[in-house]
Amino acid sequence: MLIVMKKTATDEDLSQVMQALTDLNLDFHQSTGAERTILGVIGDTEKVDLALLRALPGVLEVFKIPKEQE
């Protein structure tokens, strides 16, 4: 799963998103560029409510990574 933060997201917004992921027992890697911050989420994201994450302050979009067909 990828979470893209808005350009206007504050450090507090980012902290809230990271805490929400931690509360869901998910790990993440942060990538901060000149314009955006992206969180690559690791763990069992199958049952995560994307609407809840999208509703957090500072979140622009949440993308699920599709599973590979075996």
19-42 residue pLDDT tens = 999 999 999 999 999 999 999 999
The answer to whether residue 57 sits within a structural domain is yes
Distance between CA atoms of 16 and 68, rounded to whole angstroms? 31
The answer to whether residue 70 sits within a structural domain is no
Please state the pTM of the whole predicted model.
0.91
pLDDT at position 26: 96
The answer to whether residue 43 sits within a structural domain is yes
In angstroms, what CA-CA distances link 29 with 69, 70?
A: 25, 26
> How many domains is the chain built from?
1
CB neighbour list of residue 36: distance below 8 Å, 6 or more residues apart: 4, 5, 7, 60
The answer to whether residue 68 sits within a structural domain is no
Distance between CA atoms of 46 and 9, rounded to whole angstroms? 26
The answer to whether residue 28 sits within a structural domain is yes
Domain around 21: 2-63
Instruction: Report the CATH number at residue 52.
Output: 3.30.70.1140
